[in-house]
Structure 1
């Protein structure tokens, strides 16, 4: 790894292999990091050469096995860039007008109430966002994205509760799924989050009709992958 290590080392390549093998993933789990300054970007890591949405960047890392970073001017979606701490919120998003005009809410106020609860990092808190397939990430990730079927999400939910039990408290609003729900929410709370995907991520990034999105803190990988081996092979598992 080229940047700061975790206090307790995680074998990310092995984690990716376990997730892929036991869950039958299509494509790679995606490593993600909020870089707060230019020096956080690993030497030699390229900047993405196109302007695109965060959710599309995740899919490029997942499906095309590419590692790259993106500064604010490479982020096409203003809502996603705001949630990730790269840009200020636009006035139309802040007032609720944006999603109201798209027909997502009954009124601008109902949209505004939703936006005010969207998890997001502070303005310019992020210098760039980093993406890579988990198995060969050149940086220590903060969040890992998994995009997979509902059955796979069931196994991930069971693995999340395997050690301590309890309940899953997924938080989402049907908008800004990959940026706010999976990235910002997971990073800020330290808890895994499940999301249904949103219209934007399904339309522009290629998340399939039968797929959902999960963001998990990278520190959880050893515990989660150990649990997955047991959960998937359990007598009652389907």
Structure 2
């Protein structure tokens, strides 16, 4: 088994690897999804490898966070304002705080693909505690940034990719519904390098 498989076997949970591709790749054996939310695509990827491109994502927040679309801040803020019943200024501040890939030059995002950049897990709190206890053998504590918007796409996938840190989220309404995140689960993003570091500790 490779390192990721060993990690999954040790903690008894599945994950979806996420890989950001800069250039052209062979797509002949991969399904490119269309008109889908990122969190929904992650759920599908539990069962099969898939690809996303700039025409795949139907959610404005995910398009913005993943860097597939620029200049939609006002549109996203207005949607948040109407949905949450908050002021325009507050909604704009929330959008400004969304982790996002700026000036993106990634053509594809692969889910459940070999050699991923990061991995997304659904974990129950007790399992995450067990993972954290092992992680803290490195002498590090976990710094957490939480938001209830663009949870799986922004706060987990993008933030983990950009910072190379472990990130968690309680989800947003869409990610819990379309990603089929159970009430008792957290969404956890882990860089591949951290998986390797933790497995060296365990083994």
Normalised to the residue count of structure 2, the TM-score between the two structures is 0.90
In 2, are the aligned partners of 1:82 and 1:123 still within 8 Å (CA)?
Answer: no
How big is the shift at 1:42? Answer: 4.3
Aligned partner of 2:21 among 13, 32, 35: 35
Q: What is the CA deviation profile of residues 5-25 of structure 1, one whole-angstrom value per residue up to 9, with x for unaligned ones?
A: xxxxxxxx5233323322221
Cα distance between partner residues in 1 of 2:95 and 2:65: 10
Q: What is the CA deviation profile of residues 193-225 of structure 1, one whole-angstrom value per residue up to 9, with x for unaligned ones?
A: 111111110122211111111111112221122
2:46 aligned with 1:74: no
Aligned partner of 1:188 among 129, 142, 162: 162
Compared CA separation, residues 161 and 115, structure 1 to 2 (3 A): same
In 2, are the aligned partners of 1:84 and 1:126 still within 8 Å (CA)?
Answer: no
In 2, are the aligned partners of 1:53 and 1:77 still within 8 Å (CA)?
Answer: yes
2:79 maps to 98
2:69 aligned with 1:87: yes
In 2, are the aligned partners of 1:72 and 1:127 still within 8 Å (CA)?
Answer: yes
Compared CA separation, residues 49 and 55, structure 1 to 2 (3 A): closer
Aligned partner of 1:125 among 102, 105, 109: 105
Q: What is the CA deviation profile of residues 152-202 of structure 1, one whole-angstrom value per residue up to 9, with x for unaligned ones?
A: 121222232221x23211112111111111111111111111111111101
Compared CA separation, residues 156 and 42, structure 1 to 2 (3 A): farther
Q: How does 1:52-201 map to 2 (within 5 A)?
A: 52-62=36-46, 64=47, 66-90=48-72, 91-93=74-76, 96-103=77-84, 106-132=86-112, 137-138=113-114, 140-163=115-138, 165-201=139-175
How big is the shift at 1:144? Answer: 0.9
How big is the shift at 1:43? Answer: 5.4
How big is the shift at 1:89? Answer: 4.2
- The runs of 5 or more residues in structure 2 that have no matched partner are none
- The runs of 5 or more residues in structure 1 that have no matched partner are 1-12, 231-238
Compared CA separation, residues 147 and 42, structure 1 to 2 (3 A): farther
Cα distance between partner residues in 2 of 1:124 and 1:18: 32
Cα distance between partner residues in 2 of 1:78 and 1:106: 19
Cα distance between partner residues in 2 of 1:36 and 1:122: 14
Q: Which runs of 4+ in 1 moved over 6 A?
A: none
Compared CA separation, residues 117 and 209, structure 1 to 2 (3 A): same
* Matched residues, number: 202
Aligned partner of 2:190 among 203, 210, 216: 216
Normalised to the residue count of structure 1, the TM-score between the two structures is 0.78
